[in-house]
């Protein structure tokens, strides 16, 4: 069959959505590794796969319509997140105008949690949660004209227009069995990551999910989809799945031969244990990659810091959220200010750039002073970057339940927002607009300091990478 993955241009009058993380508008484009893994699986099943990214190509709504009008395929595939729902609904309407019977397959957190928003007719299908197995089984059923009812992990409309939600599919036990993402479908695109000073860059995922119990967290669109599905079954988080070091080495070898120079590891938590980390870092060094990852501050031990040292690590992205112990306890971070500072100092001693994530409003204990205190401490610790976000009460999280019970959502119910600049949350002592102003001022006060500006300017190795970083900063600050 002919299968066409599409990323529609923004059709809701707003900036395009970043579908890999899923909770922000695009600041800089990154490849959606989760979607490209599904595409590679379809190729391995002998389907003809295409990939059309209208956002990256800078295509307009009119150009998208003209494409759909003349395009022929058996199935359109769309990776959908909460922020993209309105665009994706309009994309369905455009497809239906010219192709009333063409199948449309949705994957990602939005269709997993909000199937009713996307199941508009009997030829729209949903692969919930971890999508690979349900999606592959759906393709087989479509190709062989078989019923869908016995396929696990899907949603569809029956002949009476009722949503049918089948039982959940088991999670993939062996991630090594999955093909490497079909990056060749994005051939010709040079991805530039402002945190990585060498291009072209790409993303790699070596594990899925996180065992910790933070009440607000949806760290990636795939993790969120997996967690939503798991919680709908038994109310728990899914287990962590990992790839073997040998399998990761094979992918890094392939990426090196393809000419990539830097890698952003998108694992929810990249650092699990020193032995596994050592094996991966050895491969990174062998192929000469610059790289960065996400980790917990309390995972940075002297042994870990020693492994990281000298490995061309351009950043370690630490989810700190706050330096206030009462707030950290409320959000069940499982960490203390002391552990956070210790981890940062270990990385600083090894000259590894540290990026912090600070989450404004993550607890009703948050005040303007606790936010200012976190910013002061971040500056004092001489970290390289800070990403300030405003907490969002994502449906399916414990924080959403608290927000609904306590009426912290200003419009009464969740609506998708860009966490890098918008708030739908407000407490009696701090409003949504106040949090938005604090967010903007926090970015200005941190990033426009002369020492930070000079440090970052000196790190770039090409004009293209510098231009990409400046463009990303402009979008981040002003939209």
Please state, in angstroms and as integers, the Cα–Cα distance from residue 76 to each residue in 33, 45, 128, 145, following that order: 18, 16, 16, 17
Checking if the pLDDT of 470 tops 60, the result is no
At the top level of CATH, which class does the domain 2-165 belong to?
Answer: alpha beta
Q: How confident is the model at residue 379 (pLDDT cuts 50, 70, 90)?
A: confident
Determine the angle formed by the axes of helices 368-380 and 432-447, rounding to 10 degrees. Answer: 20
Give the tens place of pLDDT for each residue, 28-77: 889 999 999 999 999 999 999 999 999 999 999 999 999 999 999 999 99
Overall average pLDDT of the 394-420 stretch: 93
Cβ(28)–Cβ(193) below 8 Å: yes
Query: Which position has the token pair 């299968």?
Result: 3
Region 171-175: mean pLDDT is: 96
25 with 14: CB under 8 angstroms? Answer: yes
Band of pLDDT at residue 154, cut at 50, 70 and 90: very high
pLDDT the model gives residue 188: 83
Q: For 294-326, write each residue's pLDDT tens digit.
A: 999 999 999 999 999 989 999 999 999 999 999
49 vs 288: CA distance, rounded Å: 32
Structure tokens at 435: 């949090």
Q: Is 452 left (phi over 0), alpha (psi -120 to 50) or beta?
A: alpha
d(CA 354, CA 386): 9
Domain ranges of the chain: 2-165, 186-478
Q: Which CATH number fits domain 186-478: 3.30.497.10, 2.40.37.20, 3.80.30.20, 2.60.40.10?
A: 3.80.30.20
Please write down the HEC assignment for all residues of the chain.
Answer: CEEEEEECCCCCCCCCEECCCCCEECCCCCCCHHHHHHHHHHHHCCCEEEEEECCCCCCCHHHHHHHHHHCCCCEEEEECCHHHHHHHHHHHHHHHHHCCCCEEEEECHHHHHCHHHHCCCCCEEEECCCCHHHHHHHHHHHHCCCCCCCCCCEEEECCCCCEEECCCCCCCCCHHHCCCCCHHHHCCCCCCCCCCCCCCEEEECCEECCCCCCCCCCCCHHHHHHHHHHHHHHCCCCCCEECCHHHHHHHHHHHHHCCCCEEEECCCCCCCCHHHHHHHHHHHHHHCCEEEEEECHHHCCHHHHHHHCCCCEEEEEEEEECCCHHHHHHCCCCCCHHHHHHHHHHHHHCCCCEEEEEEECCCCCCCHHHHHHHHHHHHHCCCCEEEEEECCCCCCCHHHHHHHHHCCECCCCCCCCCCCCCCCECECCECHHHHHHHHHHHHHHHHCCHHHHHHHHCCCCCHHHHHHHHHHHHHHHHC
Question: Cα(455)–Cα(448) distance, rounded to whole angstroms?
Answer: 11
Q: Which two tokens stand for residue 356?
A: 């912090």
pTM of the model: 0.92
Cα 349 to Cα 331: distance, rounded to the nearest angstrom: 29
Quick: pLDDT tens for 195-242. 898 889 999 999 999 989 899 988 899 999 999 999 999 888 999 999
Quote the CA–CA distance of 457 and 449 in Å, as a whole number: 12
Report the pLDDT value the prediction gives residue 192, as an integer from 0 to 100.
Answer: 85
How far, in Å, are 75, 173, 233, 462 from residue 240 at the CA level? Answer: 31, 10, 17, 38
Span 82-97, average pLDDT: 98
> How much is the pLDDT for 129?
97
């Amino acid at each position: 069959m002919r299968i066409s993955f599409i990323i529609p241009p923004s059709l809701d009058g707003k900036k395009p959505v970043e579908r890999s993380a899923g909770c922000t508008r695009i600041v800089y484009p990154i490849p959606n590794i989760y979607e490209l893994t599904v595409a590679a699986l379809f190729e391995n099943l002998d389907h003809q796969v295409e990939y059309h990214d209208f956002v990256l190509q800078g295509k307009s709504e009119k150009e998208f319509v003209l494409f759909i009008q003349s395009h022929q395929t058996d199935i359109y595939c769309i990776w959908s997140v909460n922020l993209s729902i309105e665009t994706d609904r309009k994309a369905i309407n455009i497809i239906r105008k010219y192709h009333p019977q063409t199948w449309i397959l949705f994957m990602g957190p939005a269709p997993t949690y909000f199937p009713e928003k996307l199941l508009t007719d009997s030829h729209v299908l949903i692969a919930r949660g971890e999508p690979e197995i349900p999606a592959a089984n759906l393709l087989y059923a479509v190709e062989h004209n078989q019923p869908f009812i016995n396929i696990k992990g899907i949603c569809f409309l029956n002949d009476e227009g009722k949503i049918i939600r089948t039982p959940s599919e088991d999670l993939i036990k062996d991630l090594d069995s999955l093909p490497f993402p079909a990056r060749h479908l994005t051939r010709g695109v040079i991805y530039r990551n402002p945190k990585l000073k060498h291009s072209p860059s790409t993303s790699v995922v070596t594990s899925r999910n996180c065992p910790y119990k933070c009440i607000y967290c949806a760290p990636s669109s795939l993790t969120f989809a997996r967690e939503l599905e798991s919680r709908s079954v038994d109310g728990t988080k899914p287990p962590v799945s990992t790839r073997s070091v040998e399998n990761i080495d094979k992918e890094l070898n392939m990426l090196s031969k393809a000419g990539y120079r830097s890698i952003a590891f998108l694992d929810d938590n990249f650092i699990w244990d020193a032995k596994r980390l050592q094996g991966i870092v050895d491969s990174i060094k062998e192929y000469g990659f610059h790289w960065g990852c996400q980790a917990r501050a309390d995972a940075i031990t002297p042994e870990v810091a020693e492994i990281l040292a000298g490995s061309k690590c351009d950043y370690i992205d630490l989810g700190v959220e706050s330096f206030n112990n009462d707030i950290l306890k409320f959000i069940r971070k499982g960490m203390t200010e002391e552990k956070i500072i210790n981890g940062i100092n270990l990385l600083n001693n090894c000259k590894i750039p540290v990026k912090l994530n600070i989450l404004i409003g993550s607890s009703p204990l948050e005040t303007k002073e606790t936010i200012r205190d976190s910013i002061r401490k971040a500056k004092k610790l001489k970290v390289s970057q800070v990403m300030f976000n405003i907490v969002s009460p994502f449906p399916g999280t414990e924080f959403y339940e608290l927000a609904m019970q306590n009426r912290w959502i200003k419009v009464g119910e969740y609506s998708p927002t860009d966490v890098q600049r918008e708030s739908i949350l407000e407490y009696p002592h701090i409003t949504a607009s106040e949090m938005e102003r604090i967010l903007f001022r926090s970015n200005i006060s941190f990033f426009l300091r002369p020492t930070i500006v000079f440090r970052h300017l000196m790190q770039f190795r090409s004009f293209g990478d510098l231009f990409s970083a400046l463009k990303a900063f402009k979008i981040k600050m002003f939209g």
